[in-house]
């Protein structure tokens, strides 16, 4: 079983942004895939189980962006 969650991220403007966010989110335990849509300002994360919001927020912060919302 896997869980797909869409996170709204503020500040992404280019492919480098997408790579940075993907790199940080991929490091979280249980993450299978990450798809970043820069124009839409979202990252879709497929994981083994729901991720702790504080861990996702920290990963996005580490990439240099701001987590502004979540769509289960």
Q: What is the mean pLDDT of residues 21-27?
A: 98
What is the predicted pLDDT for the residue at 71? 87
Sequence-distant (6+) residues with CB within 8 A of 9 are 21, 36, 41, 42, 43, 60, 65, 66, 67, 68
Tokens for 23, please give them: 């790199």
**Can you give the pTM of this predicted structure?**
0.94
Phi, psi values for residue 42, rounded to 5°: -135, 155
pLDDT digits (tens, 9 = 90+) for 35-57: 999 999 999 999 999 999 999 99
Supply the pLDDT for residue 1. 79
What average pLDDT does this structure show over 23-42? 98
Nearest Cα to Cα of residue 26 among 43, 8, 42: 43
Q: What is the mean pLDDT of the chain?
A: 96
Structure tokens at 53: 């919001």
């Amino acid at each position: 079983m896997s869980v797909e969650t869409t996170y709204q991220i503020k500040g992404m403007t280019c492919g480098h942004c997408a790579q940075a966010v993907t790199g940080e989110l991929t490091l979280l335990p249980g993450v299978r895939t990450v798809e970043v849509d820069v124009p839409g300002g979202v990252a879709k994360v497929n994981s083994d189980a729901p991720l702790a919001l504080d861990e996702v927020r920290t990963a996005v912060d580490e990439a240099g962006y701001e987590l502004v919302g979540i769509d289960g």
